[in-house]
Amino acid sequence: MHLILIALLLNLRVPFLTLLITMLQLSGLQEELNEAKQAMLKSEKKLKFKEETAAATMSTRDAAIKSLRLADMRASRLGERVEELSRHLEDSRNRSRQRYVFGRF
């Protein structure tokens, strides 16, 4: 590409210094473009990482909510069972007392 530019500029009788400056400017622009591309790729990688992290976080949150709901359900059932067993125990104690009281007379 540089040779084509040189040939075109020489045919147009552009001074060599102007040609050299133009080539240096193009080289500088190419370098800036490459740096911008690298920065963009780096930003895209960061964005992808953040998106993946957000997705994993949401999945973890959903799993935690589900786990908490299950634990709450189990705790509720266990509480009901404890109340039931407490009633049975109290009933059993009351029957034992009645037998003891009636057995002594």
- Give pLDDT, residue 7: 67
Residues 6+ apart with CB under 8 A from 73: none
CB 5 within 8 A of CB 23: yes
Mean per-residue pLDDT of the chain: 87
- Give pLDDT, residue 65: 98
Residues 6+ apart with CB under 8 A from 10: 19
* Res. 105: pLDDT tops 60: no
Q: What is the DSSP letter of 5?
A: H
Q: What is the pTM of this model?
A: 0.53
- Give pLDDT, residue 96: 81
Q: How far apart are the C-alpha atoms of 74 and 39, rounded to whole Å?
A: 52
Instruction: Average the pLDDT over 91-100 and give the result.
Output: 81
Identify the residue with better confidence: 101 or 44: 44
